Amino acid sequence: MQHNTRYVVTFVLILTSVVALLLTFLNEAWKEKMETNEAIFNKKAILKAVATDVGFEVDDMGDEEVLSIFDNQVEQKVYDMDGIELTPEEVLSIRKYKGGQAEFIDMAKEKKLDEDVRLLPMFIFNGDNNKKYYIISVRGNGLWDEIWGNIALENDFTTIAGASFDHKGETPGLGAEIKDNPVFPASFKGKKIYNEAGAFTSVFVRKGGARDPLHEVDGISGATVTADGVSEMMARGIKYYEPIFAAAKNK
Amino acid sequence: MADTITKPEVKKAEPWFGKKERQLISDPLNDNNPITVQVLGICSALAVTTLVYPSLVMAVAVIFVLVFSNLITSLLRTYIPNQVRMIVQLIIIATLVTVVELTLKAYSYDVYKKLSVFIGLIITNCIIMGRLEAFAMSNKPWKATLDGLGNGLGYGAILIAVALVRELFGKGTLMAGSGAEMKIIGASPDYMINTLESTLFGWYQPNNLMVLPAAALFIIGIFIWIHRSWNPKLVDIS
Amino acid sequence: MELFNIFIKAAFIENMVLAYFLGMCSYLAVSKTVKTAVGLGLAVIFVLGFTMPINWLISEYLLSETGLFGVDLTFLRLILFIAVIASMVQLVEMVIEKLSPSLYNSLGIFLPLITVNCAILGGSLFMVSREYNLGESVAFGLGGGFGWFLAIIAIAAIREKIKYSAVPPALRGLGMAFILTGLMGIAFMSLMGIDPDALTGVK
């Protein structure tokens, strides 16, 4: 149907305002619910990094259980890029993250900022027998969109105790295996991010199978770009935390 | 119109489920299948069919969006100006998808996480816009709804059939990633999700070719072959 | 030179159709004859070449936190990208309808469907995730479009020839096109390892 320009403009304006109002209304009405869901989801992702080592079945946990573990066993810390710990007030004065808490740091936002002004979250998990795990967050690019992960380190700051990955839009069965296939994150357990001479090596995802048992894991067939993304994200992301590790080791 | 016989207008009530209406559902399942005959929605068919479970999720989501966007577009069809119809159609599709996304995010976060990966694929799925353009813009709401349902089912059927073949031969499993995961054939290969031991055809090595998008093209090609041998009136004579 | 590399990479090594399998629907449906394939191929080059820089400007100056509104609006990215693409396609449709009604008729519904051609939205999303600058995104858009153009002409030429071969009747046409594309895709996988920087000597 051909209409005059005035009709077209009015029609488009009415349609877009109806749509915008509807979406804004739904977004506002459910905001709280969505935020709680998201917070629990993030907490689960963090706990997943230590799950194999401490024997958690994170997927079967109820919301209450996740919250209580998080409150009782997890300490949250925020560092700047020089490895200096920041109090929640200091964090709030830099960027408006809820409560200045590490769990509310938006890694997607941080990734877009210049490297020297980013904030680094760290979660210290207190396991049985005073065993501590240091969980750090990394973020990079996959084939389609961003990928990210939480890496749990033992208290030597060298050995990986576990890892969990997630992604925004990788292909199911290929790149999405970094999250869906428990074998992939589990293969990081026991790998070392420093070599014997103490130089930073990170852990690489090797296409065709790992050759170095300490610093490489097997790739995923058909998902080279995502796997390279994981390697890059680990090498760059863990390196940010080096000053923190160095300070903690010297203590 | 003017010279037709002007009898007193007795509107014959159209049956809700007459022959034509039933055809709207059954045609896309066979004679006018969106994937194998109309060639629509191939991209998503290649991307999600490596595993059965995401294909199932995708099929349900597409049926939902297709039915409602067909209905809404058909209701608005006389008001939509031709010059901007594509933008209007896309706004309708994108809004529906976003409403679904928000609802799931508030009430079922796990499903939201599973589906959010496909959102871009649903919006750009040419079946949806193809049906809006070809059917909903020129038909009544009830028919458009049925057309959406039929095409969604036809699309879903092929999607799941392709995924069954690809997952079974590519990974040796069925429904991997969901609660109902089954290990069907082969020894336990390295990259298997929650591997349950199975000795059925233990010599079978999962075929990595099946995981590649090229395999989906071969399988759909073979489906078309079978479909047309069985239904010769679809054979390409040109 | 850098831009030329991106162009070559997008056109051959990371061919939208044959390496990433994007934009398949129109590729398979409109590749019966070389003539219509050329028409659609040019339309895709045009739409990709123009939407890419526009979408770049949008994501840089409207949607980012440092942009016009000072708030992070990336959740609107998909909708805005699609809207830009849709308006560009609508423009192309009007032009083709005026200039060549016969081409317009032979493209049929697949002309408006360029809007939802995943190669075009995919291109814009690739551009964002690879953090290209304006010049690079133009080169990437044109390269991607050119690669799509080449791919559709290649398959159309093969399909024109294969019409005279003894293919089983039920496999003729569409069925054969699917299988051919799969084979071409496997052939293109061998290009994946090429580093264009090494070819042109830029490092």
pLDDT tens digits, C34-61: 988 998 898 899 899 989 999 999 888 8
Residues shown for chain B = 238
A interface toward C at CB cutoff 8 Å?
A: 109, 112, 141-142, 144-146, 224
Which of B36, B90, B222 comes nearest C86 by C-beta?
A: B90
What is the C-alpha to C-alpha distance for residues C181 and C158, in angstroms, rounded to an integer? 10
Angle, vertex CA C116, rays to CA C113 and CA C120, nearest 5: 115
Which amino acid is it at A41?
F
Which amino acid is it at B57?
V
pLDDT tens digits, B41-53: 888 888 888 888 8
pLDDT tens digits, A162-171: 999 998 878 7
Which of C112, C174, C183 comes nearest B86 by C-beta?
A: C112
pLDDT tens digits, A48-93: 888 888 888 887 788 888 888 888 888 898 998 888 889 988 888 8
Confidence at residue B191, expressed as pLDDT on a 0 to 100 scale = 40
Contact A231, A242 (CB under 8 A): no
Contact A67, A58 (CB under 8 A): no
Among C71, C150, C156, which residue's Cα sits nearest to residue C106? C156
Which of B46, B84, B86 comes nearest C24 by C-beta?
A: B46
What residue in B sits closest to C84 (Cα-Cα)? B87
Which of C72, C129, C192 comes nearest A141 by C-beta?
A: C129
Looking at every residue in chain B, the average pLDDT score rounds to 80
Share of chain B above pLDDT 90, in %: 24
Using an 8 Å CB-CB cutoff, list chain C residues near B224: 170-171, 174-175, 178
Q: What is the pTM of this model?
A: 0.80
CA B59 to chain centre: 5
Chains in contact with A via at least 3 Cβ–Cβ pairs below 8 Å: B, C
Contact B92, B114 (CB under 8 A): no
DSSP A71-107: HHHEEEEEEETTS-EE-HHHHHHHS--GGG-GGG--H
pLDDT tens digits, A11-58: 888 988 898 888 888 888 888 888 888 889 889 989 988 888 888 888
What residue in C sits closest to A168 (Cα-Cα)? C129
How distant is the Cα of C186 from the closest Cα of chain B, in angstroms? 7
Average of pLDDT values for B220-235?
88
Is the Cβ of A33 closer than 8 Å to some Cβ of chain B?
A: yes
Confidence at residue C196, expressed as pLDDT on a 0 to 100 scale = 61
Using an 8 Å CB-CB cutoff, list chain B residues near A22: 95, 99
Residue B199 has pLDDT above 60, yes or no: no
Q: Which of residues 70-89 of C touch B (CB under 8 A)?
A: 78-79, 82-83, 86-87, 89
Among C77, C129, C191, the residue to mutate for chain A (most A Cβ within 10 A): C129
Please, which residues have CB within 8 angstroms of residue B22's CB and are 6 or more apart in sequence? none
Tokens 């490297």 sit on residue? A115
Residue B189 has pLDDT above 60, yes or no: no
Among A28, A113, A117, A144, the residue to mutate for chain C (most C Cβ within 10 A): A144
Angle, vertex CA B215, rays to CA B213 and CA B218, nearest 5: 120
Record the tokens describing residue B170, joined without a space: 């590519």
Which of A30, A174, A182 comes nearest B106 by C-beta?
A: A30
Contact A36, B104 (CB under 8 A): no
Among C11, C104, C118, A71, which residue's Cα sits nearest to residue B47? C118
SS3 B27: helix
Using an 8 Å CB-CB cutoff, list chain A residues near C130: 141
Among A2, A112, A236, the residue to mutate for chain C (most C Cβ within 10 A): A112
- For β-strands A204-206 and A216-218, DSSP reports them as parallel
What is the C-alpha to C-alpha distance for residues C19 and C12, in angstroms, rounded to an integer? 9
| Residue A21 burial (C-beta neighbours within 10 Å; 0-12, 13-18, 19+) | exposed
Between residues A5 and B147, which one has the greater pLDDT?
A: B147
Which of A112, A144, A224 comes nearest C125 by C-beta?
A: A144
Do the chains contact at C65 and A144, CB–CB below 8 Å?
no
What is the C-alpha to C-alpha distance for residues B19 and B4, in angstroms, rounded to an integer? 26
What is the C-alpha to C-alpha distance for residues A175 and A141, in angstroms, rounded to an integer? 11
pLDDT tens digits, C69-127: 777 676 677 778 888 888 888 888 888 888 888 888 888 777 888 877 888 888 888 88
Using an 8 Å CB-CB cutoff, list chain B residues near A170: 117
Average of pLDDT values for C165-177?
87
Which of B103, B106, B211 comes nearest A221 by C-beta?
A: B211
Please, which residues have CB within 8 angstroms of residue C189's CB and are 6 or more apart in sequence? B212, C19
- The per-residue b/e assignment along A221-242, b for 16 or more CB within 10 angstroms, e otherwise, is bbbbbbbbbbbbbbbebbebbe
Residue B106 has pLDDT above 60, yes or no: yes
Is the Cβ of A58 closer than 8 Å to some Cβ of chain B?
A: no
| Residue C70 burial (C-beta neighbours within 10 Å; 0-12, 13-18, 19+) | exposed
How distant is the Cα of A112 from the closest Cα of chain C, in angstroms? 9
